Amino acid sequence: MTEHADLLITGGTIVDGTGTPGRPGTLAILDGRIRVLDPGAAVGVGPALPRAPRTIDATGKVVAPGFIDLHSHGGLMILADPRHEPKVRQGVTTELVGVDGNGFAPFSRREDLEAFVVLDSGLDGRPDLDYGWTSVGSYLARYDGTVSLNIATLVGNSQLRIATVGWDDGPVDAQAIDGMGSILRDGMAEGAFGLSSGLDYPPGAFATTDELAALTHVAGRSGGFYHSHVRYPLGDRYLDPFREAIEIGRRAGAPAHITHFYHRETHPGGPEPMLALIDEARRAGLDVTFDTYPSEWACTRLLTQLPLWIQAGGPTPLKERLADRAARDRIRAEFAARGASYASAAGWADVRLGAFRRPENLRWESRTVAEVMTETGRDALDVICDLLLAEDLGVSQVTSGPAAASLRQFVAHPVGMVGTDSTFLGEKPSPRTYGSFPRILGQFVRDEALLSLEEAIRKMTSAPAARLGLRDRGIIRDDAVADLVVFDPATVRSTATYDQPRNYPIGIDHVIVAGTPVIADGVHTGATPGRGLRRGLD
């Protein structure tokens, strides 16, 4: 045994991430790696403890691997705010970005990257950064030693389309798909973990099933997987969107992961047929997994309220259409044909707005579209279009999301993992950004006994690590990377709510990234030991 360590964690119950029962133990951290010691050493039985400049007394606490978030919109925001407290205070030590087809690398042309940031600014933000990277490698390098947790990235299919066929909904031939595959292959070689699609977000939403299957095959051959925000308007708008994602993985011979998988109140059936799709696919030998966020509130860019055709061509043509009365009339006609209306404020009370920058619009922060309609006398479409134009597209929205009655079935399913779908914009984002992991640990594990603590931690640690292919994270064992969280199982809980979503959780005392304390006694240390993770190397 080593005679010295950088840090000792004594007295706690080790829940190692594998799903096996917790056990007493002591951990020594040296050079960012874990050494599991004889539990008797801390009480004078067996070999003596190594010397260390700091010891964390975890008596009465759980020591677990750091949590891995399989869906985050923090890829830009963490560069502007490296402490990233909404996430590290939850115990998150690694998060996956580049989700929903909306990655920020690779972009060979800076003007395309900056235009895409504008288009996506209501979801991933538009912080004041030097957008000088071009490749996955140069993008990941921005995180090395500059942020408080680790970042893994996917390559978004929007980036591949922009580079080869542009921003429009145009035909894609074999040559274009080969070109996209080549860019994806290079991105995978530089450390990306797979391909993402966001089939509600142009231009990636214009991709066909065949196109996505061909690209997923490339990702799979490179050791990656397909991570899909599905095409929600497809077919029956219930099971068909998820069938497409599973079919893409089947055709590609690659793993398929359905992100933010949940049942909506508007679905024509219950959650059981949705989860049966996953079970049936796995019984057929397909590698299909999913993540869920444990919140009833969704959040995305306000642009999703508008049809795909108006968003084609990139931000400049989009803004021209937003200002065009004929385009607005066409949208109204399409909406009316579905039996809906932009005129009734009651139908828009569920859409809360945020992330305003212009002084004249700050009064609308955290107000609903219905409230703006009432105070201005405009219908919902004019409100949406006018605000998007005034804010250069950068408006976010919070709406109802997972049905509360069925949420627990997704959280408890053995194949499911956790993806917060965290957004960081506006005064009142979805509470999932600040409270997803502690809500599971406090409400669903402790208070409701929905699943065991060991199973919940497995779904937060070793399961997502395996999905990503991370070899030395998500588990407590000798020589694993010392990404760790220490929490009190009796008090841990989320305090984030719809009305107060930026409340930090309680009961999470220590968070350690690569052996360096980032949260100590509930306070951020200012340390930035995180890095960009590279597939095949981490």
pLDDT of 484 strictly over 60: yes
DSSP H/E element including 511: strand 508-513
Domain boundaries, the chain: 309-398
Which tokens belong to 75? 């890829």
What value does the mean pLDDT of the chain take?
A: 96
Neighbour-count burial of 366, counting CB atoms closer than 10 A to its CB (0-12 exposed, 13-18 middle, 19+ buried): middle
Average the pLDDT over 159-186 and give the result. Answer: 96
pLDDT of 45 strictly over 80: no
Average the pLDDT over 152-167 and give the result. Answer: 97
Q: Tell me, what's the pLDDT at 118? A: 98
CB 231 within 8 A of CB 267: no
pLDDT of 47 strictly over 70: no
CB 111 within 8 A of CB 84: no
Q: Tell me, what's the pLDDT at 46? A: 59
CB 420 within 8 A of CB 397: no
Q: How far is CA 445 from the centre of its chain?
A: 22
If one compares 239 and 344, the residue with the highest pLDDT of the two is 239
Which tokens belong to 257? 């992961």
Reported confidence tier of residue 43, pLDDT bands at 50, 70, 90: very low
Q: Name the strands in the sheet holding 256-258, side by side, starting at the edge strand that comes first in the sequence.
A: 155-156, 194-198, 225-229, 256-258, 288-292, 416-418
Cα(538)–Cα(470) distance, rounded to whole angstroms?
A: 6
DSSP string, 231-299: -TTSTTSSSHHHHHHHHHHHHHTS-EEE-S----TTSSS-HHHHHHHHHHHHHTT--EEEEE-S-SEEE
pLDDT in tens, 354-396: 999 999 999 999 999 999 999 999 999 999 999 999 999 999 9
What Rg, from alpha-carbon coordinates, does the chain have? 23
Average the pLDDT over 50-62 and give the result. Answer: 95
pLDDT of 277 strictly over 60: yes
Cα(197)–Cα(57) distance, rounded to whole angstroms?
A: 44
pLDDT in tens, 311-361: 999 999 999 999 999 999 999 999 988 888 899 888 899 999 999 999 999
Cα(323)–Cα(327) distance, rounded to whole angstroms?
A: 8
In sequence order, what are the beta bridge partners of 235? none
Average the pLDDT over 431-456 and give the result. Answer: 98
Cα(11)–Cα(365) distance, rounded to whole angstroms?
A: 47
